[in-house]
Amino acid sequence: MKTLIIIDVQNDFLKNGSLEVPYGNEVIEPINQIMKNYELVVATKDWHPLNHVSFASNHPGKKNGDFIKVNNLDQILWPDHCVQNTPGAELHSELDQSNITRVFHKGTDPEIDSYSTFFDSAQRNSTGLKNFLRGLYVNNIYIMGLATEYCVKFSVLDAMRLGFVTHVIEDGCRGIDSCAGDVQRALDTMVKQGAKIVTSQEVVS
Ligand code: VGL
Ligand code: ZN
């Protein structure tokens, strides 16, 4: 079954959000267009408790963009974003949600971040998406959303590790690109690992 996974189209990652992805709102229209072509559509939400380890505000003396070590893994510190049950964590109102079967939440453990929609960064806990897709015999997945070099990239890499044939709809993704070239490097890494890069045009036609 061909499945679309919509990544983190949440207010905090969009215009005037606390962790705004430049041009992030441009993904909404292609997502709304493309949805009808899929038998199954799921979405993900970054869904942090207020005491989340990735928030600079929880580390006195640290600021946004600083790195710390968490369980020996590099952790970038972010502004507070996608706090559970706040407006910033909601999917954007212009996103057509009528076809979304289920929403999966990530980053819920205060102690560990999770860019991937499948597992947390220590690969310890699962969001339930893997078993959900396996249970429906999904083999082909298409991924679009925010942000290209974080959630999209790590979700794509996990998806391929899990054996899904994985497509990235490039014009349906936007990245932060805080270091110029981050987005391109992320796309290169995904391709090198076996992801197929497609455009929404190609998928529809
Ligand atoms: C993300 C930064 C922090 C993402 C989540 O979903 O791409 N980026 N938290
Ligand atoms: Zn986050």
Residue partners of 169: CB distance under 8 A and separation at least 6: 30, 34, 142, 143, 144, 198, 199, 200, 203
Q: Which ligand is nearest to the CA of 173?
A: 1
Q: Report which protein residue has its CA nearest ligand 1's atom 6.
A: 151
Atom of ligand 1 nearest to the CA of 149: 7
Using alpha carbons, list the distances in angstroms from residue 66 to 11, 112, 117: 23, 16, 23
Angle between helix 153-161 and helix 182-192 axes, rounded to 10 deg: 10
- Indicate whether residue 9 lines ligand 1 (CB < 6 A): no
Mean model confidence pLDDT for the chain: 96
State pLDDT tens for residues 162-185: 999 999 999 999 999 999 999 999
- Residue 19 amino acid letter: L
- Indicate whether residue 104 lines ligand 1 (CB < 6 A): no
Most distant CA atoms of the chain, gap in Å: 52
Residue partners of 32: CB distance under 8 A and separation at least 6: 94, 95, 96
Contact between 202 and 177 under an 8 Å Cβ cutoff? The reply is no
Q: Which two tokens stand for residue 130?
A: 């893997």
pLDDT given for residue 1 in this prediction:
86
**Cα–Cα distance, 2 to 186 (Å, whole number):** 24
Q: How many A from CA of 202 to the centre of ligand 2?
A: 30
pTM of the model: 0.96
List the catalytic residue out of 45, 151, 173, 177.
Answer: 151
Q: How many A from CA of 160 to the centre of ligand 2?
A: 22
State pLDDT tens for residues 11-53: 999 999 999 999 999 999 999 999 999 999 999 999 999 999 9
Q: Which two tokens stand for residue 110?
A: 């205060």
Using alpha carbons, list the distances in angstroms from residue 5 to 16, 21, 58, 110, 129: 24, 18, 31, 24, 10
Question: Between vectors from CA 76 to CA 71 and to CA 45, what angle results, nearest 5°?
Answer: 95
- Indicate whether residue 46 lines ligand 1 (CB < 6 A): yes
Active site residue 80: no
Q: What is the DSSP string of 101-162?
A: -EEEEE--STT----SSSB-TTS--B-SHHHHHHHTT--EEEEEEE-IIIIIHHHHHHHHHT
Q: How many A from CA of 204 to the centre of ligand 2?
A: 31
**Cα–Cα distance, 188 to 133 (Å, whole number):** 26
- Indicate whether residue 78 lines ligand 1 (CB < 6 A): yes
Q: What percent of the chain has pLDDT over 70?
A: 100
Contact between 41 and 35 under an 8 Å Cβ cutoff? The reply is yes
pLDDT given for residue 35 in this prediction:
94
